[in-house]
């Protein structure tokens, strides 16, 4: 019951569940004012993982029948792309639009100078 309630209120970390058993009145009522250790919570979850999965599916189906949720498929893209960036030194591309006659207040730019890389 403790794990179900914790998951329903968005707490999934065993350490945060343990802390809630000390600080949150609802958790204290559920545990009979006892504070389980985070290692016990984690061990219980690990040993009963299959049963907890089935229980969550049953709860979702009950909620669906009651019209509280609609079930479907969610797809997530976990693509990792290698970047070519330095953490210490960043370069920015400076794109400058100049009048046809060149740089205001200075000499005209040679062709190809606009858009050059500048160290930041």
Tell me the pLDDT band of 24, cut-offs 50, 70 and 90: very high
pTM of this prediction exceeds 0.85: no
CA distances from 73 to 2, 12, 51, 84, 99 (A): 28, 22, 22, 34, 55
pLDDT of residue 109: 46
pLDDT, one tens digit per residue, over 78-100 is 776 666 665 555 544 444 444 55
Task: Tell me the range of 39-48, 50-59, 110-119 where mean pLDDT is highest.
Answer: 39-48
Q: Residue 42: is its pLDDT beyond 50?
A: yes
pLDDT of residue 75: 66
Tell me the pLDDT band of 71, cut-offs 50, 70 and 90: confident
Mean pLDDT of 13-18: 95
CA angle 46-9-50, nearest 5°?
A: 25
Mean pLDDT of 68-80: 72
Tokens at 44, concatenated:
């219980």
pLDDT, one tens digit per residue, over 98-109 is 455 555 544 444
pLDDT of residue 89: 52
Tokens at 37, concatenated:
């250790």
Q: Helices in the chain by DSSP H: which ranges? A: 2-8, 14-23, 25-30, 38-47, 49-65
């Amino acid at each position: 019951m403790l794990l179900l309630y914790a998951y329903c209120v968005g707490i999934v970390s065993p350490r945060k569940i343990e802390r809630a058993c000390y600080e949150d009145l609802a958790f204290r009522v559920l545990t009979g004012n006892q504070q389980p250790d985070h290692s016990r919570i984690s061990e219980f979850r690990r040993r009963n993982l299959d049963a907890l999965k089935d229980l969550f599916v049953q709860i979702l189906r009950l909620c669906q029948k009651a019209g509280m949720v609609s079930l479907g498929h969610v797809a997530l893209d976990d693509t990792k792309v290698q970047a070519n960036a330095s953490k210490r030194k960043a370069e920015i591309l400076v794109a400058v639009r100049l009048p046809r006659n060149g740089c205001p207040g200075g000499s005209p730019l040679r062709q190809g100078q606009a858009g050059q890389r500048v160290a930041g």
